[in-house]
Amino acid sequence: MSRRFKQVDVFTTAPFMGNPLAVILDAEGLSGEQMQAIARWTNLSETTFVLPATDPAADYRVRIFTTAEEFPFAGHPTLGTAHALLEAGLKPKTAGTLVQECGVGLVPVRIGDSGSLAFRAPPATPAALDAGLMPLLLAVLGDEALAADQQPLVVDMGIRWLVVRLGGAADCMAVTFDAATLVDLARRANVDGLAVYGPHPSGGPADYEVRAVCVENGVLIEDPVTGSANACIARVLSGRDYTVRQGTALGRDGRVTVACRDGEPWIGGKAVTIVDGVMRS
């Protein structure tokens, strides 16, 4: 059968400069095994499957798959799916806000001007990295300059990121991650990936530079632009409004905005549709 399909580029206004996402808009009737097979085939970092909501407060339900597993939440799939649904004609129950139902519960997505979208970061409690793992972390980073006053933190948001502040954006860009050591660190710290960030000088392209990496099947993968990692960083930088550039090391130009509203961080950006058609299965 034919199912509506979009491939969108998230956290960018310029095609091919953000983070791609596949969205299956008519996923009802697909089993979890079929969804996983489709996600392996698209071979993107994530593929989302839109289903009818089971919670009356939600506008839709989404399941999020990598090529290997299902995630209860992820950031760029949240914004990308909302963009695809609005473009396909979905009318929110509440003007100006979509409510996504997913593995972590209900996630509101604000609809801003000129196509901008922002999701409220799910709750998370940062916990200090075990001090005994610091040598491993330093080995992963190649002894790049950690910020002297910032403790590396494990932040669980459905996806678990190890969040590390470096001395500056230049330090962030200079890191050459050691994949083998990262595998050991991720296993022992029980995290899905490592997110490093550092401030740009005043007048720079953004307030912070961010890089996010993980290891899949023994291969180091750097994510172009990462909503969940930025949401975890926002929980660490609680109460601040700021901007982020990510993907620079990959030749991308991802842009993320973080706005604090009523004490809660909202992770924002734009998306563009690259492919719009049907998938036959």
* pLDDT score at 216: 83
φ/ψ (deg, to 5) at 39:
-65, -40
| Segment-wise mean pLDDT, segments of 10 residues, the chain, 281 residues | 96 97 97 98 97 98 96 96 98 97 97 94 94 94 80 94 96 93 96 97 97 90 96 94 98 98 96 96 77
Catalytic center residues: 46
Fold agreement between 2-120+268-280 and 125-263? yes
**Closest to 76 in 3D by CA, of 37, 38, 42, 44:** 44
Q: Specify the pTM.
A: 0.95
Q: Are strands 19-24 and 47-51 parallel, antiparallel or unpaired?
A: parallel
Q: What fold characterizes domain 2-120+268-280?
A: Diaminopimelate Epimerase; Chain A, domain 1 (3.10.310)
CATH class entry, domain 125-263? alpha beta
Residue-range domain boundaries for the chain: 2-120+268-280, 125-263
- Rounded Cα distance, 210 and 269, in Å: 15
* pLDDT score at 26: 95
